[in-house]
């Protein structure tokens, strides 16, 4: 399977703990995006990378959230001092700038975070 | 800022019925418009897209036409199947940013 993969698929943590999620994009894709989706809502943009550069961050991304894409391949999203309001599905997507079909984002299955 | 509004669900139809899910948007400039589908237990999948006014996107019997005059991108299918049961998201990408703005989603249930 050469799609976008995310790990873990589910994470349960206690309030105040730190969590880290990983996303592996489609191998030739140079853009990588993070979204958050709560029940009954559409995905909300958090941030995106072009290669290893983080080019845009949403105001939703508080200073407890940090994302990296150190070698322009996989990415991690860390949430420090988790709060119950962080409970959501965290989605990763990737796309290819300059490809035949630009702007098409391919989504991973998501990581469901539950903060107790 | 950019925004997307979708008709509220859930929508329940019988097999072979005609489907319309309304989507309207607010954006500056000329956004690209998309429909994504999320089947139970699966990730979001691109269903169709349109990048300029009057373009029609189509896939798997679904169609949507980019109407700039009414700022709409309604999703239609002539004859739905049980396997079409899913949540459908309308989305746009604006000219000046790379992030997508999604609508809240419309849940479709098709009964045999």
Q: Which of B52, B66, B100, B107 to mutate to test the interface with A (most CBs of A within 10 A)?
A: B100
Q: What is the pLDDT of residue A71?
A: 86
**Contact map slice: B 58-97 vs A, CB within 8 A:** 89, 91, 93, 97
- Nearest by CB: B46 against A31, A41, A104: A104
d(CA A13, CA A33): 24
Q: Which residue has the higher pLDDT, B62 or B30?
A: B62
Q: Beta-strand (E) ranges in chain A?
A: 5-7, 10-13, 19-24, 31-37, 44-50, 53-57, 65-68, 75-79, 88-95, 106-107, 111-115
Q: What is the pLDDT of residue B55?
A: 94
Q: What is the pLDDT of residue A1?
A: 54
Partners of residue B100 in chain A, C-beta under 8 Å: 33, 35, 43, 45, 105
φ, ψ of residue A42 to 5 degrees: the values are -80, 165
User: Taking all residues of chain B, what is their mean pLDDT, rounded to a whole number?
Assistant: 92
Stretches where chain A sits below pLDDT 70 are: 1, 98-103
Alpha helices in chain A (DSSP H): none
Percent of chain A with pLDDT strictly greater than 70: 94
Tell me how far the alpha carbon of residue A75 is from its chain's centroid.
Answer: 8
- CA nearest to B107 within chain A: A40
**Given its phi and psi angles, is residue A45 left (phi above 0), alpha (psi -120 to 50 degrees) or beta?**
beta
CB–CB of A104/B93 below 8 Å?
no
CB contact under 8 A, B46 and A58: no
Closest residue by Cα to residue B105 from B39, B53, B61, B28: B39
CB–CB of A60/B1 below 8 Å?
no
CB contact under 8 A, A41 and B97: no
């Amino acid at each position: 399977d050469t799609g976008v993969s995310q790990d873990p698929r589910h994470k349960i943590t206690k309030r105040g703990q730190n969590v880290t999620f990983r996303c592996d994009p489609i191998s030739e894709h140079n853009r990588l995006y993070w979204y958050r989706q709560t029940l009954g809502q559409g995905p909300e943009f958090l941030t995106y990378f072009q290669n290893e550069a983080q080019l845009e961050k949403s105001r939703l991304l508080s200073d407890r959230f940090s994302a990296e894409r150190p070698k322009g391949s996989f990415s991690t999203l860390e949430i420090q001092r988790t709060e119950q309001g962080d409970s959501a599905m965290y989605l990763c997507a990737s796309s290819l700038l300059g490809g035949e079909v630009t702007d098409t984002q391919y989504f991973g299955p998501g990581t469901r975070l539950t903060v107790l | 800022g950019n925004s997307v509004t979708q008709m509220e669900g859930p929508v329940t139809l019988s097999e072979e019925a005609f489907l319309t899910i309304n989507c309207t948007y607010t954006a500056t400039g000329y956004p690209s418009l998309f429909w994504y589908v999320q089947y139970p237990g699966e990730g979001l999948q691109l269903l169709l897209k349109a990048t300029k006014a009057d373009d029609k996107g189509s896939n798997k019997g679904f169609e949507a036409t980019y109407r700039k005059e009414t700022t709409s991108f309604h999703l239609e299918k002539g004859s739905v199947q049980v396997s079409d049961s899913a949540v459908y998201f309308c989305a746009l990408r604006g000219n000046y940013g790379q992030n997508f703005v999604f609508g809240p989603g419309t849940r479709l249930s098709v009964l045999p």
